[in-house]
Structure 1
Amino acid sequence: MPMRSPVVFVNPDRIEERMDQPAENDLNLQLLRAYIDSANDGIFVVCDEMKFHVANQRLSHWLATPEHVLTDHCHRIPFTTFLPEVLDHNLFLRSLQETLAGTPARFDCKLAPINGAARWVEISMNRVALEIGDLVIGLVRDVGKQREVAAELERRARTDDLTGLANRSEFWGGLKRAVDQPKDVGVKSGLLYVDLDQLKLVNETCGHIAGDALLRDTAETLLSIVPQSALLGRLGGDEFGVLLESNDATDTMRIARRILRAIGTRPFRWNGATFKVSCSIGVVHISPGLSNVPDILGAADAACYVAKDKGRARIQIYTGHGLCHRRRTEMRWVERICSALSEDRFLLYHQRIVPIGADPNLGPFHEILLRLRGQNGSIIRPNIFMPAAERYNLMPAVDRWVVEQVLRSVADDIGFGHTRTGNDLEPLCFVNLSGASLNDRQFPHFLQRKIDAHGVPPERLCFEITETVAIQNLKRASHVVHQLKEQGCRFALDDFGSGMSSLSYLKSLPVDYLKIDGSLIRGIAVNSVDKSIVCAIQEIARDMGISTIAEYVENPDIHDVLSRIGVHYGQGYAIHEPCPLPSIATENGAITKEWKAHRTDMSIPVTHPFD
Structure 2
Amino acid sequence: MISPPGESPVVLYTRDLSPERGCLSLCGNVEDLTGYPAAAFLDDPKFWNQRIHPNDKPQALDALRLCLRVGSAAIDYRFLRQDGVYVWIHDSCSLISKDNLPRGIAGTWIDITRQKYAERLTSEDPGEKVTGLVNRKTFERSLADLIADAVNSNDEHVLCYIDLDQFRVINNTCGHTAGDELLRQLGWYLQGKLRVRDTVAYLGGDEFGILLESCVIRQDHRVFAGIRQALSEFEFELAGRKISITASIGVVPINKESGSPARVLGMADIACYAAKEQGRDRVHFYTEEDEDSEPRIEMFWVDRINQAMQEDRFFLYSQPIVPLNGAAGLGGHHELLLRMKDEAGKLVPPGLFLPAAERYHLAGRIDQWVIRTALSWLDAYTDMIDPAQRIGINISGQSLANDDLLEFVLGELTHKGIAPERIYFEITETAAVANFKHAIRFINGLRDRGCHFALDDFGSGVSSFAYLKMLPVDYLKIDGAFVKEIANSPVDYAMVKAINDVGRTMGKQTIAEFVENDAIVAMLKEIGVDFAQGYGIGKPRPLNEFFNP
Give the TM-score of the pair, scaled to structure 1.
Answer: 0.50
Residue in 1 that maps onto 2:283: 314
Residue in 2 that maps onto 1:367: 335
Give the 5 Å matches for 1:158-307: 168=147, 194-195=159-160, 213-215=196-198, 238=211, 255=219, 257=221, 260=224, 282=251, 300-306=267-273
Change (3 A) 1:174 1:442: closer
Structure 1 or 2: more strand by fraction: 2
Note the alpha carbon deviations across 1:74-95, whole angstroms, 9 max, x for none.
Answer: xxxxxxxxxxxxxxxxxxxxxx
CA contact (8 A) 2:225 2:283 kept: no
Aligned residues: percent identity? Answer: 33
Residue in 2 that maps onto 1:411: 379
Cα displacement (A) at 1:475? 4.2
Q: 1:377 aligns with which of 328, 337, 345?
A: 345
Cα displacement (A) at 1:340? 2.9
Note the alpha carbon deviations across 1:83-134, whole angstroms, 9 max, x for none.
Answer: xxxxxxxxxxxxxxxxxxxxxxxxxxxxxxxxxxxxxxxxxxxxxxxxxxxx
CA contact (8 A) 1:462 1:491 kept: yes
Cα displacement (A) at 1:258? 5.8
Note the alpha carbon deviations across 1:481-537, whole angstroms, 9 max, x for none.
Answer: 222111110011111122364524332223221111111111111111211221222
Give the 5 Å matches for 1:505-544: 505-544=467-506
CA contact (8 A) 1:439 1:476 kept: yes
What is the CA–CA distance in structure 2 between the aligned matches of 1:279 and 1:468, rounded to whole Å? 21
Note the alpha carbon deviations across 1:442-488, whole angstroms, 9 max, x for none.
Answer: 21111111001111111111111112223334444333222211111
Residue in 2 that maps onto 1:456: 418
Cα displacement (A) at 1:265? 10
What is the CA–CA distance in structure 2 between the aligned matches of 1:472 and 1:264, rounded to whole Å? 25
CA contact (8 A) 2:161 2:251 kept: no
Larger Rg: 1
Structure 1 residue ranges without an equivalent (≥5): 1-147, 154-160, 176-190, 217-235, 244-251, 267-277, 285-290, 591-611
CA contact (8 A) 2:403 2:438 kept: no
What is the CA–CA distance in structure 2 between the aligned matches of 1:557 and 1:162, rounded to whole Å? 73
CA contact (8 A) 1:353 1:364 kept: yes
CA contact (8 A) 2:487 2:523 kept: yes
What is the CA–CA distance in structure 2 between the aligned matches of 1:362 and 1:492, rounded to whole Å? 15
Residue in 2 that maps onto 1:225: none
Instruction: Verify: 1:347 aligned to 2:315, yes or no.
Output: yes
Cα displacement (A) at 1:301? 3.8
Residue in 1 that maps onto 2:204: none
What is the CA–CA distance in structure 2 between the aligned matches of 1:299 and 1:466, rounded to whole Å? 25
Cα displacement (A) at 1:321? 6.1
Change (3 A) 1:492 1:398: same
Change (3 A) 1:409 1:418: same
Which residue identity does 2:271 align to in structure 1?
A: C
Change (3 A) 1:212 1:412: farther
Cα displacement (A) at 1:436? 2.3
Cα displacement (A) at 1:297? 6.7
Change (3 A) 1:163 1:335: farther
Instruction: Verify: 1:432 aligned to 2:405, yes or no.
Output: no
Change (3 A) 1:538 1:173: same
Cα displacement (A) at 1:363? 2.5
CA contact (8 A) 2:159 2:210 kept: no
Cα displacement (A) at 1:367? 0.8
CA contact (8 A) 1:349 1:578 kept: yes
Residue in 2 that maps onto 1:398: 366
Cα displacement (A) at 1:336? 2.9
What is the CA–CA distance in structure 2 between the aligned matches of 1:299 and 1:394, rounded to whole Å? 13
Q: 1:499 aligns with which of 461, 479, 485?
A: 461
Residue in 1 that maps onto 2:449: 487
CA contact (8 A) 1:409 1:583 kept: no
CA contact (8 A) 2:375 2:412 kept: yes
Which residue identity does 1:519 align to in structure 2?
A: A
Which residue identity does 2:221 align to in structure 1?
A: R
Residue in 1 that maps onto 2:18: none
Which residue identity does 1:238 align to in structure 2?
A: L
Cα displacement (A) at 1:385? 1.8
Residue in 2 that maps onto 1:78: none
Q: CA RMSD in A?
A: 4.7
Note the alpha carbon deviations across 1:153-183, whole angstroms, 9 max, x for none.
Answer: 9xxxxxxx979999636867999xxxxxxxx
CA contact (8 A) 2:266 2:299 kept: no
Q: 1:560 aligns with which of 519, 522, 542?
A: 522
Residue in 1 that maps onto 2:125: none
Q: Secondary structure at the match of 1:430?
A: strand
Q: 1:581 aligns with which of 519, 537, 543?
A: 543
Structure 2 residue ranges without an equivalent (≥5): 1-53, 60-76, 81-85, 87-144, 164-182, 200-208, 231-246
CA contact (8 A) 1:202 1:211 kept: no
CA contact (8 A) 1:306 1:327 kept: yes
Change (3 A) 1:510 1:314: closer
Change (3 A) 1:385 1:457: same
Change (3 A) 1:168 1:501: closer
CA contact (8 A) 1:352 1:575 kept: yes
Name the count of aligned residue pairs: 367
What is the CA–CA distance in structure 2 between the aligned matches of 1:258 and 1:211, rounded to whole Å? 13
CA contact (8 A) 2:150 2:157 kept: no
Give the TM-score of the pair, scaled to structure 2.
Answer: 0.55
- More deviation, 356-365/462-471: 356-365
Change (3 A) 1:205 1:406: same
CA contact (8 A) 1:282 1:318 kept: no
Q: Secondary structure at the match of 1:503?
A: helix
Q: Secondary structure at the match of 1:314?
A: strand
Cα displacement (A) at 1:303? 4.5
What is the CA–CA distance in structure 2 between the aligned matches of 1:260 and 1:461, rounded to whole Å? 49
